[in-house]
A = this chain, B = another copy of it.
Amino acid sequence: MKQKLSIIKIGGNVIENKKDLTKFLQAFSKIEGLKILVHGGGKLATKLGEKLGIASKLVNGRRITDAQSLEVITMVYGGLANKNIVAELQSLECNAIGLSGADANLIQANKRPVAEVDFGFVGDITTVNSDALHKILENQWMPVFCAISHNKKGQLLNTNADTIASEIAIGMSDMYETTLYYCFEKKGVLLDVSDNNSVVTHINTSSYQELLAKKIIADGMLPKLENCFNALHKKVAKVCIGDISMLDQKSTLHTTITL
């Protein structure tokens, strides 16, 4: 039987609030067995950029990562957020190790090809180095990933944290029974966006089609769910979406997605 591995992605809202982050890290440190954390940096990078007079660049409403933005992201995600999370986890007796995709060549990516928009230094993941990650886990080090990959040619690349989490889960599914957790501010996929208790507790392939037809899953939730099903089709055992309380095994109000 395969060993269990939990991959948890936390959203920006959790990172930005010191109290929420501590609450999350306490819950994370208590998860039994092997686990991997993936974090973005939320609005911290935007705020630092503003202080430095680096304006966010948008083309057709999409954010562009120019050289200056990448520097800010590397400082905030790779340095400030990552190292403080690791130090706090260490204080909670969780033997964390902070990583980017460049470290030990763990996550390789290509710069997104220029089509209508040049997104700048944005990476599309090509390889997760599952052997290296396995060795890290074997040593009982719990990886904490910032959302930065590299192209193996010396270039760091800003990379979507949701995608990093799902690609890691997919990459590790041959060796482990993986569960992918998307942890954000809501309790899960909601029937009524204005009611945080209207959680759809279970979604599978057929109920997903119904939710799509009824337009209950739309907007930002749509790519997230597509990402989830992609992971499930590539051998990830289970995907869960919910808030911090989802990590507490006794709590049940969150969305579980299976094929």
Chain A residues with CB under 8 Å of chain B are 48, 51-52, 71, 74-80, 82-84, 86-88, 90-91, 95-100, 102-105, 132, 135, 139, 141, 148, 150, 152-156
> When chains A and B are docked, how far (Å) is the Cα of A80 from the Cα of B148?
12
Considering only CB atoms, which chain B residue lies closest to A53 in the complex? B51
With beta carbons under 8 angstroms apart, the residue of B83, B95, B141 that contacts A74 is B83
- A83 and B87 form a contact (CB under 8 A): no
- B148 and A83 form a contact (CB under 8 A): yes
- Tell me how far the C-beta of A243 lies from the nearest C-beta in chain B, rounded to whole angstroms: 23
> When chains A and B are docked, how far (Å) is the Cα of A155 from the Cα of B98?
15
> When chains A and B are docked, how far (Å) is the Cα of A88 from the Cα of B102?
9
With beta carbons under 8 angstroms apart, the residue of B84, B86, B90, B155 that contacts A87 is B155
- B91 and A83 form a contact (CB under 8 A): no
With beta carbons under 8 angstroms apart, the residue of B77, B88, B90, B103 that contacts A79 is B77
- Taken together, the copies of this chain in the complex come to 2
A83-B78 CB under 8 A given contacts A97-B104, A104-B97: yes
- B87 and A80 form a contact (CB under 8 A): no
- B95 and A104 form a contact (CB under 8 A): yes
Looking at A78, A82, A103, the one whose CB has the most chain B CB atoms below 10 A away is A103
Report the 3 A-B pairs with minimum CB-CB distance, sorted nearest first. A79-B79, A75-B75, A91-B154
- B154 and A87 form a contact (CB under 8 A): yes
Chain B residues near A80 (CB-CB < 8 A) = 71, 74-75, 78-79
> When chains A and B are docked, how far (Å) is the Cα of A139 from the Cα of B97?
15
Considering only CB atoms, which chain B residue lies closest to A71 in the complex? B80
